[in-house]
Structure 1
Amino acid sequence: MPEAATVALDTRVRRFLAALTPDADSADAHAVGACFADPFLVADDTGARPVSRAAFLAALPRRERLFAAAGFGPAALAEVTCHRVDDRYVLARTEWDAARVHGGAPVRLVSSYLLHDDGGRFRIVLYLNHEGLPGA
């Protein structure tokens, strides 16, 4: 019996998203890359564009430096809301808390993912960043 039939959707999505968290044991480039379709669509306030998995993984160190320069540590998954769109797709709206390295309340970051569900695993086909990284 496929995992999808025995484990609740929100639990499956949370497990899947755990691979994207920087402090997860599996947060190496290969594990993160395996979470994304190749190519996938990235969308933000400037529009949408296709991105190859390799280009995305190459950009991750720059993203980490941007977080550090803004005074933030790694983001941790705080909230997930899932909605099954149809038999093959799930929309997951997420909220992540990025700790301030010099103290203070963490910053809440919001993003959504359209996940392709093949019955056994998810792949991100659309990553929507709802807002840019706020100032420190």
Structure 2
Amino acid sequence: MIQSETAIARFFRLFAQKNSEESIPAQVSQFADPFISVDPHGTRCVRLDDFAAALPKRKVLFDRLGCKPAVLVSLDETQLDARYVLAKTTWRFDFSRANSGEAEQVLADSTFLVDTGKEEFRIVMYMAHQDIMQVLRDRGILQG
């Protein structure tokens, strides 16, 4: 976990904690409504209701694949102005292979634009640098 005690580091420590919990409201609480989602397939505007509806499906899939909660392994923050911070992150996903019991690590890079203008920071843009599902297929963790 990141050792820095900046406000953004605390925000992402809380973000990682909330993402390991079962509470969908806790997970979506750190995102603006709507927020921008960017990945190798393009850009879209995501409403929190739609995001909240998708999260349980992702959790079921990742649980089935033996994934432990993601761990934040790096955070590089850039203050863009008085209100916005760009946070480049790397996350480690640990998958336990059902057939062998062996663990496999997958690293995923992502970038967040965080609005720090209010007491409760909000993610206004999330960029996944890889198609995580394709990475899992390429590594043989996800079939099909």
**TM-score if structure 1 supplies the norm length?**
0.81
Superposition pairs of residues 43-58 of structure 1, within 5 angstroms: 43-58=38-53
What letter corresponds to residue 33 of structure 2 in structure 1?
D
Q: Deviations over 1:3-39 (max 9, x none)?
A: xxxxxx8621122123332336xx6222222211100
1:62 aligned residue: 57
1:5 aligned residue: none
Distance 1:67 1:132 in 2: 15
Distance 2:122 2:109 in 1: 19
Superposition pairs of residues 104-119 of structure 1, within 5 angstroms: 104-118=103-117
What letter corresponds to residue 25 of structure 2 in structure 1?
H
- Measured after TM superposition, the shift of residue 54 of structure 1 is 1.2
1:23 paired to 2:6? no
Provide closer, same or farther for how the CA distance between residues 130 and 10 of structure 1 changes in structure 2, counting only shifts above 3 A: farther
In the comparison of the two structures, how many residue pairs are matched? 126
Q: Deviations over 1:54-98 (max 9, x none)?
A: 111111111123323444332111111100111110000111110
1:4 aligned residue: none
Moved over 6 A (4+): none
1:33 paired to 2:28? yes
The alignment partner of 2:89 has SS state of strand
Root-mean-square deviation (Å): 2.0
Aligned-pair identity in percent equals 33
* Structure 2 unaligned spans of 5+: none
What letter corresponds to residue 30 of structure 2 in structure 1?
C
- Measured after TM superposition, the shift of residue 124 of structure 1 is 0.5
1:85 paired to 2:80? yes
* Structure 1 unaligned spans of 5+: 1-8
Provide closer, same or farther for how the CA distance between residues 19 and 124 of structure 1 changes in structure 2, counting only shifts above 3 A: same
Provide closer, same or farther for how the CA distance between residues 131 and 47 of structure 1 changes in structure 2, counting only shifts above 3 A: same
